[in-house]
Amino acid sequence: MSEPLVVVAKDSAEHKRWKYVQWLYLAGFLVLAPLVLEPFEIGKMNRALIMSVAILAVNLVVGFNGMLALGHSAFMGIGAFVTASMVQDENWDYWQVLPVVLIVGFIMGVVIGLPALRVKGLYLALVTIAQAAVFPTLVNIDELGIAARTGGPNGKGVSEEVIAPGYLEWLPGVDGARGGSAYRYWIIVLMLGITLLVITNYLRSRPGRAVLAIRDNEAGAAVYGVNLPIVKTMNFAISASLGSLAGLMWCLDKGFVAGQDFTFLLAIDLIIGLVLGGVGTIQGSIVGGLFVVWVNDLTKRISIPLGLYTLNGDGPLAKAIFGLILILFTFFAPGGIVSLARMVQSKLIKVVPLTPAGDPIQPISSFDPGMESKRADSALKLAVVPPVLLAVGWLLMNIDSLIVGVFAFGLRMTILLAPVAMLVGSNELKAHADGNRADSVQGTANMARLLGAAGTLFVIVYALQRFVLNY
């Protein structure tokens, strides 16, 4: 279908409903993750979110400021070792260490940024590469008591256990066998949420707009009065502080840090996650962290039998597959996963901008020549497919309990498509009431809304049932 399923005016009631659905999907994902994942999988989710914070730090410099900096693994290491030292040696709490880590990271960003930002392009990349390459060696130096604080080649462990207090045991997944990893998960989610809020407001502020102006046209920004050295250095320092926060979260999750964790290979993973997620987008940082951790793990699980031999994902095969994925994304999605998501979203909903008077720039009815619409038919298909898959999957499970894939796939399709079908059906009925749809649309749209609502209700009841049975 060439036209989007739904066309709405910006900030209209329909537009707000679609925003609410997106936020509900995110909230559902965050709540269900510690409930349905095993403890080791929750640990992977924690690492993915930590990588997201680190990638966002790189994004501040590379994506939003237009400078090629490749040494943020060192800032992560600084944050991790400061945290481990203060918690283990000084008996500080993680929350007490947090402001110290942020300040230390900011200061190191200023110290490194002042000389480093005097160069550009490949020269800046070379300086920051040296920063990342030297850091694992620096933490092993005996002079000045550095090795005593960092543990030297053996690394440094943190004996303090992260246990949820009694008044927080109501959090999903915290009470039970997976409680420790789930509690760390919620702490990391809280830190990530606050970080996203702060960085979003920072980019909308005057200093943030100056950073974007430098990226788009450095000479033009200077002409309009932007102090290039100060803005670049402060942005680099904020990025370093954010990278140190990722190091604190790393120490919080693993309980052990070593110089080998923060080599240049980690810096490369951050760049890969940034490019695959989407450069210059906050969403791309989150997606990139999830991709780097989970896809790397999935490639290691691949096993291909070849007669007497088996290609095991633990060896070179995993790296080869991951490299192939990178190549495919480079050719078919140069804007990253976020660009693909926006393309799919554009097929679902088109937001029509408003004029200064508050009216749509283009009349919404103009997207349906001849007052006819195929959206209702598409919505009905979206609403019908998931129940059919669920029914087939349920029958297969009763025939053979091992066959559960169809049911699981049908459940996922219901989660994704049922709210969409319900909203599209509602939108078409409203358009019919306004006189922008033919009478033939009414029955199909009504059925799509009804089935979509039924599918949404089924998912909610099913989730509540699983929660009651398991917890």
Residue 155 pLDDT: 86
Domain architecture of the chain: domains with CATH:
37-339 (1.10.3470), 369-470 (no CATH)
Partnered with residue 284 across adjacent β-strands are none
Which residue in the block uniquely carries the two structure tokens 């604080």? 149
Cβ atoms within 10 Å, residue 433 = 10
Q: Which regions of 77-164 does DSSP assign to beta strands (E)?
A: 156-157
Asked whether the beta carbons of 47 and 253 are under 8 A apart, the reply is yes
Residue 423 pLDDT: 82
User: What is the value of pTM for the model shown?
Assistant: 0.81
CA distance linking residue 407 with residue 393, whole number of Å:
4
Asked whether the beta carbons of 269 and 297 are under 8 A apart, the reply is no
SS3 178: coil
CA distance linking residue 311 with residue 316, whole number of Å:
9
Per-residue pLDDT of the chain (471 residues; tens, 9 = 90+): 456 777 777 877 777 877 787 778 778 788 878 877 778 888 889 999 999 999 999 999 999 988 888 889 999 999 999 999 999 888 888 889 999 999 999 999 998 888 767 777 778 888 888 888 888 888 888 777 788 888 888 888 888 777 777 767 777 777 655 557 788 899 999 999 999 999 999 999 999 999 999 888 888 888 888 888 889 899 999 999 999 999 999 999 988 999 889 988 899 889 989 988 888 889 889 989 988 888 877 777 666 666 555 666 566 666 777 777 778 877 777 788 888 888 877 777 778 887 776 667 776 666 665 445 677 888 888 888 888 877 877 777 666 555 556 777 777 788 878 888 888 888 888 878 877 777 888 888 889 889 988 888 888 888 777 666 665
Residue 305 pLDDT: 63
CA distance linking residue 81 with residue 105, whole number of Å:
12
CA distance linking residue 442 with residue 429, whole number of Å:
6
Q: Where are the alpha helices (DSSP H) in 301-403?
A: 316-332, 337-348, 375-399
Residue 50 pLDDT: 95
User: Which helix (H) or strand (E) covers residue 94, if one does?
Assistant: helix 94-116
Asked whether the beta carbons of 302 and 316 are under 8 A apart, the reply is no
Asked whether the beta carbons of 129 and 71 are under 8 A apart, the reply is yes
CA distance linking residue 216 with residue 68, whole number of Å:
14
